[in-house]
Structure 1
Amino acid sequence: MSAPATEAPAAPPPPPAAPSRPTATSFWRSTALPSLLSIAMALVVGAVLIAFSDDDVREAASYFFARPGDTLGAVFSSIAEAYGALFRGSVLDVRADSVVGALRPIGQTLLFATPLIAGGLAVAIPFKAGMFNIGAEGQIILAAIGAAYVGFAFDLPVGVHLVVAVAVGVLGGALWGAIPGALKATTGAHEVITTIMLNYVARFLILFLLGTTYFQREGRADPISPQIADTATLPALIPGFGRLNWAFVLVLAAAALAWWLVNRSTVGFRLRAVGANAEAARTAGMSVPRAYVTAMALAGGFAGLAGVSQVLGSERVLTTGISAGLGFDAITVALLGRANPVGVVAAGLLFGALKAGGLTMQAQTGTSLDIVVVLQALIVLFIAAPALISAIFRLRTTGAGVGQLSKGWNG
């Protein structure tokens, strides 16, 4: 008898294919298009709110069945006037008498967008390390305190004075941001709790300081500092564009630095690795505590730039309202920008335009400024619910909701 034939060993399974790099088409379908449609949906809902809040619309609606055309005309007129004023106040004033006047709204948009972009970066960077920075508000305040004090208390040469004031402000924000990072690294304290508590500390700290002789303006009883010296203020970027100053350029440079840091540097790779899987990163030899401190210190530095832009750029004086809630608006900007530096810039410009245009809309049409806040909230709501947008517009996308965004952010 011949020996039984032996079966050849099975071939090993092929290795998994490398993940394909995102293309322009996939980015458009998965990110850009849903975001644009979310903004469009927010504008539609906002239009309904504008119409219902208009006195002429409500009056025409009282006799709708007798003359429906009056109601529809009043609705169209109220929406067109409100959104027209929004556009004229944020992009181009077609009613202006000069070219400079027509373009001045862009300056206002960029002015309002400047601290929003910096604050959005302060929230976006910790997302990469799996952290949620709620403390941008306090970091902005600490940076403003440091920059303002250098600005009015020291007499330094031109050029040097401004550089030192900016550096002290950014450093103050970075140190304030590093505190919750160090607490998480050493004790495991959750950064959401510690940053919220530090916001309160910063708020009462500035209130206390502005009541002392070191910070309070002489001869004033209200909490306000002396005027920042001209040698420490950020100069105007373009003459005739209002208060727009070089802080906008600094913030754009910071956004470019953040993009490089996240996508091209070793530090960014470690932050993303820790955010994706802290235990795996630790096994690979990375220091997770160091990543936590680094992420929060960087966040504080970016938030500090927002505080510098406020106190040395647009306001040029320190008050208790110097942060103006920017730290909390920054969370919305980071969410809308999907924690991507490029997206944060775009989201900051959008929200800056809404803020600038909202003031004009309220002044010219009487539409409440709260409509702008509602629009911002609706945009984030629709961004956070991509399945709803996909269902409404019949999109074949696989967008992530709020609970899944961290995976995309860390990619």
Structure 2
Amino acid sequence: MPVLVMKFGGTSVANLDRIRRAAKRVGVEVAKGYDVIVIVSAMSGKTNELVGWVNETSPLFDAREYDAVVSSGENVTAGLMALTLQEMDVPARSWQGWQVPVKTTSAHSQARIEDISPDNITAKFNEGMRVAVVAGFQGISPEGRITTLGRGGSDTTAVAFAAAFGAERCDIYTDVDGVYTTDPRVSAKARKLDKIAFEEMLELASLGAKVLQTRSVELAMRYKVRLRVLSSFEEQSDEAGTLVCDEEEIMESNVVAGVAFSRDEAKMTLISVADRPGIASIIFGCLSDAGVNVDMIVQNISEEGRTDMTFSLPTDQVGRAEKALGELKSSGGLNFSDLDTELDVAKVSVVGIGMRSQSGVAAKMFKVLSDEGINIKVITTSEIKISVLIDRKYMELAVQALHDAFELEKAA
């Protein structure tokens, strides 16, 4: 039998009625002749509740026990889904990560998948099981302890299973009906994409689009796993949702596929830093050690051997960055005159594989923002994206103006 992977997020399995609805979708695929691997998240809100219990019990918790508690939400969903399928006369059973096994690193709460052995599940398929319901987000460490994969770990689990089993496709069921050219809540003209290339989806995910978790898209691109993003709450057809696939599968596409944004950005500038070899390594090594995720980086022109270094980071990491750089300065490891922080900025990006072969996208983007009176603070580019940092109050205006200028409401 061909294998299909179906992943259901927390909102899709939030209660027993939604689990029944999801199980019916699985039953349809079984009737088509698939052996199905279902990856489930914890019921909506359950993981946060479990994390809260751990923090209340032990503020300085043992990370191994944290994973043992937090992973239990997926176990409950997997068991309930298997029971529901059995009531529908579909041969199904639940699997926890260690039973598969899903082998991971030992980095508790942020483990990475190292190997998935298909042998145990394949043997059960050969014995007549039609659906393996696997608890997402979890695995087992070399030491034999339960691990969890971090935020969005069930998406990563689903793609990893699709790769390990050579699945025909990996369907991700969520509370949206696909990938849009931008957030429909910001632009009413946002259009659902029928197809999007892996690279475009990876950029959009990393730039703030929350439809798919970045690690899952990276994995799909590496192993050429075709992903389909679908709504759990709408009637489905074979053409429903958005297919995330290899660039070669897309016949025609717009130069720009989408506009992404992130409102929770901050800008920091180290003023008057020595302009010498190794200074960037010192600055960003210090920030990395402090767990700060730096994104856009700009170094100003040097003057009399001094320069300014500007970078962006998530707003919730500003305190950590200020503390780390302050300690570095006081220890004599770095000399700068001042540290300027802006908390009211946002990042807006245009993304598209068509930018590789067509010039003028940057010029058009900057002209659009200029016409709207929006000042650009920082610019970074890659082969298929251009990102700018602007005042947060202009973020929605910028997204709408760019969406209109690049005519993203129209199909290619």
Task: From the CA coordinates, give the structure whose radius of gyration is larger.
Answer: 1
Structure richer in helix, relative to its length:
1
- Name the TM-score, length of structure 2 as normaliser: 0.26
Higher RCO, 1 vs 2 (CA within 8 Å, ≥6 residues apart): 1
Greater per-residue strand proportion? 2
Using structure 1 for the length normalisation, give the TM-score: 0.27
